[in-house]
Structure 1
Amino acid sequence: MTGGALSVPFASIEGRHLIALLDDFVALLDAPRETPDEALERLAPDAYPDDPAAAEEYRRGTRDDLVDQRISDARTVRTALERFETDAGADIVEVPRADLDGWLRTLSAMRLVLASRLGIDRDDRHDPDDPRFGTYDWLGYRLELLVQLADRLDEE
């Protein structure tokens, strides 16, 4: 992807809500672990499901880099939203093309963590009217919007 930026509409409350989610996500990624966390494990499934020793070696060699990349991506997204902390009138976020992949990875990862916490193993396996799934669905909407905006930018 080269050049351009996406103009992404956000209501002020959405910006503040996403900031809070990002802060929680970074804290979760950055926290020391004494026991495995199923939600975080879902972000890095076993590369070798039939070979536990190889899977563990691969995980040891890649886990820190993967977590560092996720934290960096989340901080990039958060930086783009910082004005929502003080500007109640903020409504458009410019997402540089170079940052789009990080946005997509971050929103997808947060959605996976939520899915794990809520027991969702397939997108169609929850009641859309159940308020516990509102943030999960909203993140999906945001992902879809980013993809649509990127497609439109590609067509220009």
Structure 2
Amino acid sequence: MSDTLMLPIAHIEARNLIDLIDQFTELLDDPDAHADPGVQRLTPILYPDDIAASDAFAALTSDDLRGRRKADAHTVRASLSAAASDPLEEGHELVPVDLEIDAAGLDSWMRTLTALRLVIAERLGIETEADHDPNDPRFGVYNWLGYRLETLLDAAEEAGI
């Protein structure tokens, strides 16, 4: 059992994930973020039979939730920086680098990748598995984030975290 795991990620993937995280934090920083359907999807409906109570709960907790989402995103971005900052020779974009993620950072990674997928799912209109066509190129980033989440879970299981 280890307190850290190694996550292989290509340089280009790290750079693309940083870009997604930057867009995500910009979305969360928007003063009107509470009205964005993608951000709303991050807040569970606590009382499905009482939408007014669910809305009131969301209003009370949304600022704290967005703050925690941003802190998680910053943790992930910081761990990606080394993989994305090295100048690359042409043709080396797909060369993987091992990211070391500690047990505390693992939760931030899982929450951030899941949050990104939820926002993208909202943008693509994915509510159920039937709404997702894996052969439609518009779902590429959504699928890739799912793959990355799965590799992260596999690495955590292998490390015994």
Distance 1:69 1:103 in 2: 12
Tell me the CA shift for residue 131 of structure 1: 1.4
Q: Aligned residue for 1:67?
A: 66
Deviations, residues 90-114 of structure 1 (Å, cap 9, x unaligned): 6111111111011000000000100
Tell me the CA shift for residue 4 of structure 1: 1.4
Secondary structure, aligned partner of 2:35: coil
Tell me the CA shift for residue 52 of structure 1: 3.4
Contact 1:43 1:113 in 2 (8 A): yes
List runs of 5+ in structure 1 lacking aligned partners: none
Picking from 136, 139, 145, the partner of 1:139 is: 145
**Where does 1:27-66 land on structure 2 (aligned, <5 Å)?**
27-33=26-32, 36-66=35-65
Deviations, residues 26-77 of structure 1 (Å, cap 9, x unaligned): 0011111187211111110321232233223312221111110000000000
Contact 1:111 1:140 in 2 (8 A): yes
Aligned length: 154
Picking from 118, 131, 137, the partner of 1:112 is: 118
Tell me the CA shift for residue 21 of structure 1: 0.3
Q: Where has structure 1 moved over 6 Å in runs of 4 or more? A: none
Q: Aligned residue for 2:91?
A: none
Residue range with higher mean Cα deviation, 141-150 or 56-65: 56-65
Distance 2:47 2:138 in 1: 34
Q: Per the alignment, do residues 93 and 35 of structure 1 end up closer, same or farther by CA in structure 2, a change over 3 Å counting?
A: closer
**Where does 1:7-26 land on structure 2 (aligned, <5 Å)?**
7-26=6-25
Residue range with higher mean Cα deviation, 16-25 or 34-43: 34-43
Q: Aligned residue for 2:85?
A: 86
Distance 1:72 1:123 in 2: 30
Secondary structure, aligned partner of 2:100: strand
Residue range with higher mean Cα deviation, 134-143 or 2-11: 2-11
Tell me the CA shift for residue 14 of structure 1: 0.3
Residue range with higher mean Cα deviation, 11-20 or 80-89: 80-89
